[in-house]
Amino acid sequence: MENKQLQKSLGAAAALSTVVGMVIGGGVFFKPQAVYTLTGGAPGLGMLMWVLAGIITIAAGLTAAEVSAAIPKTGGMMVYIEEIYGKKLGFLTGWMQSVLFFPATIAALAVMFGQQSAGLLGNESLSMPIALGIILLISVLNTLGSKTSGLIQTISTVGKLLPLILIMIFGFIKGQGNNPIVQPMVAEGISPMGVIGQLLVAILFAYDGWINVGALAGEMKDPGKDLPKAIVGGLSLVMAVYVVINLAYLWVLPADQLAQYSSPASAVAEQLFGPMGGKFITVGILISVFGALNGYLLTGPRIVYTLGEQKNLPAALGKLSKNGVPTNATFTMAILSCLYALSGQFNLLTDLAVFAVWAFYTLTFIGVIKLRKDQPNLHRPYKVPLYPIVPIIAIAAGVFVVVNQLFLSGITNTMIALGGLVITLIGLPVYSYMNKNKEEAKKAA
């Protein structure tokens, strides 16, 4: 949305509910499996990390919002980084989002959608066809215009809130509550320090979406006062929901059992409401995942489209269809997402996405400090509170996530991180080649 269309109508309450809606997605239903697998089936450290990841997310949201408010241009993080560090790094951000973050996230959600749908239908062999089919279906829906996307988002919001509310209420009413919650921290033979980084990466996926919060600044009546309230309030509420839902899971099933289910929420629902009730909750979860997929397939292609329009990617990607939709960019992202989905690995894909995007989030956090030095007179309708403490917390967390994945989390995670790094860095020769073509086209003209 361009700024000229934005009306300054959002108060703190409306912004807060928008924050909650943007962040709660599919991760809260599926990530407990990865969390309790990493802790060896022990609950303590997992529960602690849901809180720590929430605090990190609040620091990240408060920090990045200063850049968003100071650079109120369409394009998100790609535009912020270009403004702070220059065109090459700006392109690399857009490239990473276009070929790695968005496709890997879409693929991960589609894989989970396929697995859960196949489970409901009682035919596991349908998992991959459904995963690929749902990506293509939502891509087609997104080429029909924005009204369709808006309707999907409304329905999916109800879809995600219903399972959460029902599990939270009935988990505590009907659950036994005799499973361990805070002890042991990890199972015997597992080093807490050895798995903290992997736990953070797993859980941060469930908190992702906060980067879009700063974009609300242009629509707020008083961003300086209300944006921090919306970020702290909204993300604290998300953290509370995540902690309470995980408590409700543990109230019903012990952590070592939750580690065995790809959808712990569905397993808990079946325990609470019986097989039919469990299926009903799974349908709600599927609607939520459908909405999250729609959100990513709506926003991701806009970045591909912008890069095409700038002729930093093939110009065909920067063209709109008759109804004003970036159809070429949408189907390009869909094809990439399908290729990632063929791996069938939800946790691997989310780890890849989180590692890649947090490297650039960290650059954004550093950018807040750099902008304050380079452009002290820049109009800042909102300033990060407790500067520079909050940005330093966000930067330290970002550096820890990146370094941990690259060097400290075992060979598998190192290989995932290096794969992400290589895919990102391929953007450099692409940028040089496309720039060379642009220069030659200018000379020819």
Q: Which of 211, 24, 25 is nearest to 112 (CA)?
A: 25
Q: pTM for the full model?
A: 0.93
Q: Tell me how far CA of residue 125 lies from CA of 80, 104, 122, 186, 245, in angstroms.
A: 44, 22, 9, 35, 31
* pLDDT digits (tens), the chain, 445 positions: 343 444 566 777 877 877 888 888 889 999 999 999 999 999 999 999 999 999 999 999 999 989 988 887 767 899 899 999 999 999 999 999 999 999 999 999 999 999 999 999 999 999 999 999 999 999 998 888 666 766 777 788 778 888 999 999 999 999 888 899 989 999 999 999 889 999 999 999 999 988 877 767 667 778 778 888 888 898 999 999 999 999 999 999 999 999 999 899 999 999 999 999 889 999 999 998 998 898 899 889 989 999 999 999 999 999 988 878 899 999 999 999 999 999 999 999 999 999 999 999 999 999 999 999 999 999 898 899 999 999 999 999 999 999 999 998 889 899 999 999 999 999 999 999 999 988 888 888 7
Collect all residues with Cβ–Cβ distance below 8 Å to 141 and sequence separation of at least 6: 148, 149, 152, 294
Examine residue 182 and state whether it is found in any structural domain, yes or no.
yes
Q: In this structure, is residue 100 part of a structural domain?
A: yes
Asked if the structure places residue 444 within a domain, the reply is: no
Q: What is the pLDDT of residue 389?
A: 97
Give the separation between CA 264 and CA 43, rounded to whole angstroms.
14
Domain extent, residue 343, equals 8-439
Cis peptide before 388 (omega within 30 of 0): yes
Domain assignment present for residue 2? The answer is: no
Cα(63)–Cα(210) distance, integer angstroms: 11
Distance from C-alpha of 46 to C-alpha of 246, rounded to nearest angstrom = 9
In a domain, 418, yes or no: yes
| Max CA pair span of the chain | 76
Q: DSSP string spanning 269-334?
A: HHHHHHHHHHHHHHHHHHHHHHHHHHHHHHHHHHHHHHHHHTTSS-GGGG---TTS--HHHHHHHH
The pLDDT value given to residue 419:
94
Tokens of 65: 């919002």
Q: Is residue 1 part of a domain?
A: no
Residue 256 lies in a domain: yes
Give 273: exposed, middle or buried? Use CB within 10 Å, 0-12, 13-18, 19+.
middle
pLDDT at 53: 97
> Domain tally for the chain?
1
Count of residues making up the chain: 445
DSSP structural state of residue 218: G
| Coil, strand or helix at 10 | strand
* pLDDT score at 221: 79
Pull the structure tokens for residue 24.
């709660």
Q: Could you tell me if residue 445 is inside a domain?
A: no
Predicted pLDDT at 5? 45
pLDDT computed for residue 7 by the predictor: 59
Domain at 152, CATH number: 1.20.1740.10
Q: Name residues whose C-beta falls within 8 Å of residue 112's C-beta, 6 or more positions apart in sequence.
A: 26, 30, 262, 263, 289, 346
